[in-house]
């Protein structure tokens, strides 16, 4: 594989992905790059395309499960060196895709702009949240997005409207594109009231999460009308274990990877859960976690 000379300083080979994923497991990326700006991303995408290499985008790594075999392609990380700038103009806030979602939430609340505060405590980047239409408390991030700037598969840059981004329940039509930045249209609110609301949500969200083990993921999409947590508890799957991987006993919507866990074990656990839920309830539980 040949990347152009002027891109070589950005490319690393056989880069371990486990340390970059919240689950802490998985094999290496054949090629790995941390672009500095949009032009780098465009050139990386164009060059990978020319070489027939698959491209995957890494944000905060809180919603991926990397197989032991790793990724036979190019992984572009936007969480490191790429822009995480946040600018505010009246009620419009524009955020670089590599910014942490929590930073964007805190910044909006501090500026007296409402619409993102309910997402406090969701790990990862703004890019990852927008691509997966992250949601909490029944409201998704897409509802306050006004536009999204992306690098298309042909490496051109395009700004998409909220409608073009196709937000639906934990889904968008942005998969396969590289999100560079996102503009939100927010509402002017009282800073103190917003801050209090955010703090309350932050406390309750932290209390509803396993605290002992840091290597966790939230594998399933809440099915219509019922939180995955309640469904898994009703079906009796809380605490279910496969090797060193288990569903948390108290908060079974979280999958925990203990020391010695493998991606294979994660995949087997997910399959067992889906089978049992389908058998007992007829519900085809959908995956939120992205399998690499
Ligand atoms: C403890 C915990 C709590 C969670 N709580 C919630 C919750 O309440 N609600 C919720 O919706 N989710 C939740 N999640 C899931 C996860 O945090 C979100 O999906 C988050 O938005 C993922 O962002 P990320 O940057 O970590 O994405 P990553 O895990 O890095 O990537 C996820 C997917 O997005 C793609 N992607 C990332 N950035 C870009 C980009 N810039 N351009 C194109 N594609 C990109 C990746 O290719 C991948 O397919 C939780 C996860 C954990 C571990």
Which of 30, 67, 170, 209 does the annotation list as catalytic?
Answer: 170
Render pLDDT for 26-50 as a digit per residue (tens, 0 to 9): 999 999 999 999 999 999 999 999 9
16 and 56: one domain? Answer: yes
Using an 8 Å Cβ cutoff, are 56 and 76 in contact? yes
Phi, psi of 227 (to 5 degrees): -60, 140
Render pLDDT for 158-212 as a digit per residue (tens, 0 to 9): 999 999 999 999 999 999 999 999 999 999 999 999 999 999 999 988 888 887 7
108 and 184: one domain? Answer: yes
Q: Which ranges of 96-227 does DSSP label H, i.e. alpha helix?
A: 101-110, 126-131, 162-165, 191-207
- 149 assigned to some structural domain: yes
- Give the pLDDT score at 84: 86
Q: How far is the CA of 190 from the centre of ligand 1 (A)?
A: 29
Provide CB contacts within 8 A for 154, sequence distance 6+: 46, 49
Instruction: Please identify, by atom number, the ligand 1 atom nearest to the C-alpha of residue 141.
Output: 11
Residue 170 a catalytic site member: yes
Q: Which of 35, 126, 131 to mutate to test the pocket of ligand 1 (most atoms within 8 A of CB)?
A: 131
Assign residue 261 the CATH number of its domain.
3.90.78.10
- Give the pLDDT score at 226: 86
Q: Which of 59, 79, 182, 228 to mutate to test the pocket of ligand 1 (most atoms within 8 A of CB)?
A: 59
Q: How far is the CA of 40 from the centre of ligand 1 (A)?
A: 23
What is the maximal distance between C-alpha atoms in the chain? 57
- 97 assigned to some structural domain: yes
Q: What is the number of domains present in the chain?
A: 3
Domain residues for the domain of 268 are 216-291
- Give the pLDDT score at 148: 98
- 211 assigned to some structural domain: no
C-alpha to C-alpha distance for 278 and 141, rounded to whole angstroms: 29
- 67 assigned to some structural domain: yes
- Among the residue ranges 25-34, 78-87, 267-276, the one predicted with the least confidence is 78-87
Q: How far is the CA of 142 from the centre of ligand 1 (A)?
A: 14
65 and 140: one domain? Answer: no
**How sure is the predictor about 138, in pLDDT bands with cuts at 50, 70 and 90?**
confident
Q: Which of 218, 247, 251, 252 to mutate to test the pocket of ligand 1 (most atoms within 8 A of CB)?
A: 218
Last residue of a domain, one of 156, 179, 206: 206
Render pLDDT for 43-81 as a digit per residue (tens, 0 to 9): 999 999 999 999 999 999 999 999 999 999 999 999 876
In this predicted structure, the answer to whether residue 119 has a pLDDT above a threshold of 70 is yes
- Give the pLDDT score at 137: 84
C-alpha to C-alpha distance for 106 and 104, rounded to whole angstroms: 6
**How sure is the predictor about 123, in pLDDT bands with cuts at 50, 70 and 90?**
very high
Assign residue 73 the CATH number of its domain.
3.30.43.10
Last residue of a domain, one of 26, 43, 77: 77
The pTM assigned to this predicted structure is 0.95
- 274 assigned to some structural domain: yes
122 and 18: one domain? Answer: no
> Ligand 1: which residues within 6 Å by Cβ?
22, 56-64, 78, 97, 122-125, 127-129, 131-132, 134-136, 178-179, 209, 216-218, 290
72 and 90: one domain? Answer: no
Last residue of a domain, one of 206, 235, 265: 206
Give me the chain's average pLDDT, please.
Answer: 95
């Amino acid at each position: 594989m040949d990347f152009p000379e002027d891109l070589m300083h950005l490319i690393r080979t056989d880069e371990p992905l486990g340390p970059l994923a919240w689950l802490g497991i998985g094999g290496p990326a054949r090629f790995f790059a941390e672009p500095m700006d949009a032009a780098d991303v465009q050139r990386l995408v164009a060059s990978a395309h020319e070489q027939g290499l698959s491209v995957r985008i890494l944000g905060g790594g809180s919603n991926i499960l990397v197989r032991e075999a790793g990724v036979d392609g190019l992984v572009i990380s936007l969480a490191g060196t790429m822009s995480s700038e946040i600018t505010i103009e009246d009620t419009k806030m524009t955020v670089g895709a590599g910014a942490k979602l929590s930073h964007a939430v805190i910044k909006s609340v501090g500026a007296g702009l409402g619409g993102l505060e309910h997402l406090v405590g969701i790990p990862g980047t703004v890019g990852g949240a927008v691509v997966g239409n992250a949601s909490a408390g029944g409201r998704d991030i897409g509802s306050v997005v006004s536009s999204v700037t992306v690098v298309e598969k042909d490496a051109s840059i395009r700004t998409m409207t909220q409608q073009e981004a196709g937000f639906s329940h934990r889904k968008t039509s942005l998969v396969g594109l590289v999100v560079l930045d996102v503009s939100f249209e927010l509402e002017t609110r009282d800073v103190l009231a917003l801050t209090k609301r955010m703090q309350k949500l932050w406390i309750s969200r932290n209390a509803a999460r396993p605290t002992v083990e840091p290597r966790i993921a939230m594998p399933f999409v809440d099915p219509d009308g019922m939180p995955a947590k309640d469904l898994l508890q009703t079906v009796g799957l809380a605490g279910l274990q496969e090797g060193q991987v288990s569903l948390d006993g108290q908060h079974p919507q979280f999958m925990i990877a203990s020391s010695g866990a493998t991606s294979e074990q994660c995949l087997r656990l997910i399959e067992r859960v889906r089978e049992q839920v389908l058998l007992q309830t007829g519900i085809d539980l959908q995956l939120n976690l992205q399998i690499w």
